[in-house]
């Protein structure tokens, strides 16, 4: 059975790696990596393949950057052409990026079954492009592999059949558990940044910010810089800047202001190993990333989500995450309170045990076998 594993952006690579490894060990299953090229440079793509020990993609569609509509259309066209030439028994998509949506819809229209890893997550915020990607992908998927019970409940409320939903846990945790030791042993990432010595010993906050709703509006972006200025008065802040955000800082004339914030260390995108090493040692993380909410929960690091909602509520109810919104004053107050308080005593949610990819492989090989019969 030939299984196409779709990878497009950095979060996909982290989730894909353990699934590919687990499927490769199963008799009668041939996993094929299809890289759409949504993220394509070394820092955003190739370094993740090296760090996560993923083989070179079997095919690279090379779509590159573009608007949501153009990028999605390019991926659909390129993947459709690939399916013209290759027999595929199952398409496996992960997460909620444009590649996830484009390849799932393309496969479904060809009557090729789709399995969605990380199905059922919902922010209930239709202003998020990722929410549209999630809902549409789940609607056309035959196999829905969920990371938590609330995700399965969301799918049932949307009318999906119970026997198509499988609780498997969080595959991102599999990668984190496998590589965190290697990341911590790889050397001090802070020294490589030429960072202030006051960052040593975890006396810093880590910031990530990239979602369109947060960075595309110059007013909103300026507000986040105000929040960073407030937090940096208390503790140093390290900020690996997403290429999209850097472009927006430049276009809005805010880059010089950002670079002038005292005790803010701005870097380029980091490799996976460097980022999780930095994340694991941070005193506090401020983010708009869903994956980072999950990683901080597992690592036991306090996390403030700079959004009005989260599609991962389990990181709040059971983990170390708190949703604080986008108001600069609220962010600063929450950050100072978190820095003054003991680290939250979160716990790993159910089945976030580093074995989720094995459960994914079990479900998919059984499902493929039943289909063949």
List of residues 6+ apart from 119 with CB closer than 8 A: 137, 138, 141, 144, 145, 146, 151, 155, 165
> What confidence score (pLDDT) does residue 42 get?
53
19 neighbors 357 (Cβ within 8 angstroms):
yes
Task: Looking at the chain, list the stretches that DSSP marks H as alpha helix, in order from N- to C-terminal side.
Answer: 10-24, 47-51, 68-85, 98-109, 129-140, 149-157, 171-185, 189-192, 212-215, 218-232, 243-251, 255-259, 272-281, 290-299, 314-317, 328-340, 356-372
Q: SS3 for 194?
A: coil
Query: pTM to 2 decimals?
Result: 0.93
Burial of 268 (0-12, 13-18, 19+ CB in 10 A): exposed
Computed on alpha carbons and rounded to an integer, the radius of gyration of the chain in Å comes to 20
- Gap between the Cα atoms of 239 and 260, Å rounded: 13
Domains, in order of start, for the chain:
2-170+352-372 (3.40.50.2000), 177-340 (3.40.50.2000)
Catalytic (active site) residue 210: yes
pLDDT tens-place values along the chain, 373 residues long: 999 999 988 888 999 999 999 999 999 999 999 999 875 555 556 788 889 898 888 889 988 777 889 999 999 999 999 999 999 999 999 999 999 999 999 999 999 999 999 999 999 999 999 999 999 999 999 999 999 999 999 999 999 999 999 999 999 999 999 999 999 887 677 776 655 555 666 689 999 998 888 999 999 999 999 999 999 999 999 999 988 899 999 999 999 999 999 999 999 889 999 999 999 999 999 999 999 999 999 999 999 999 999 999 999 999 999 999 999 999 999 999 999 998 777 789 999 999 999 999 999 999 999 864 4
Question: Per the residue annotation, which of 35, 39, 210, 242 is the catalytic one?
Answer: 210
Burial label for 348, CB within 10 Å (0-12, 13-18, 19+), is middle
The reported pLDDT for the residue numbered 67 is 83
Q: At 129, give phi and psi (nearest 5°).
A: -55, -35
């Amino acid at each position: 059975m030939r299984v196409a594993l779709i990878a497009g952006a950095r979060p996909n690579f982290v989730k894909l790696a353990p699934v590919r490894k687990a499927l490769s060990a199963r008799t009668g299953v041939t996993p094929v990596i299809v890289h759409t090229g949504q993220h394509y440079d070394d820092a955003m793509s190739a370094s993740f393949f090296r760090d996560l020990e993923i083989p070179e993609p079997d095919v690279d569609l090379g779509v590159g950057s573009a608007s949501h509509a153009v990028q999605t259309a390019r991926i659909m066209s390129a993947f459709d052409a690939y399916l013209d030439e290759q027999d595929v028994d199952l398409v496996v998509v992960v997460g909620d990026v444009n590649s996830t949506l484009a390849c799932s819809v393309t496969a479904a229209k060809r009557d090729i079954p789709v399995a969605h890893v990380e199905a059922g997550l919902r922010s209930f915020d239709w202003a998020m492009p990722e929410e549209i990607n999630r809902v549409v992908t789940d609607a056309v998927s035959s196999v829905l592999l969920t990371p938590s019970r609330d995700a399965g409940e969301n799918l049932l409320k949307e009318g999906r059949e119970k026997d198509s939903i499988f609780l498997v846990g969080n595959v991102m945790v599999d990668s984190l558990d496998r590589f965190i030791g290697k990341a911590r042993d790889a050397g001090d990432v802070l020294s490589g940044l030429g960072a202030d010595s006051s960052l040593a010993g975890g006396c810093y906050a880590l910031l990530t910010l990239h979602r369109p709703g947060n960075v595309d509006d110059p007013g909103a972006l300026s507000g986040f810089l105000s929040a960073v200025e407030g937090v940096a008065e208390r503790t140093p802040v390290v900020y690996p800047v997403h290429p999209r955000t850097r472009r927006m800082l430049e276009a809005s004339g805010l880059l010089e202001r950002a670079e002038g914030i005292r005790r803010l260390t701005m870097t380029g995108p980091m490799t996976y190993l460097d980022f999780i090493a930095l994340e694991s040692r941070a005193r506090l993380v401020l983010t708009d990333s869903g994956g980072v909410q999950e990683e901080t929960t597992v690592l036991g690091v306090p996390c403030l989500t700079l959004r009005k909602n989260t599609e991962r509520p389990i990181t709040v109810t059971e983990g170390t995450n708190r949703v604080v919104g986008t108001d600069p004053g609220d962010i600063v107050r929450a950050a100072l309170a978190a820095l003054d308080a003991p680290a939250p005593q979160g716990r790993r949610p159910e089945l976030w045990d580093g074995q989720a990819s094995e459960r994914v492989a079990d479900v998919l090989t059984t499902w493929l076998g039943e289909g063949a019969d």
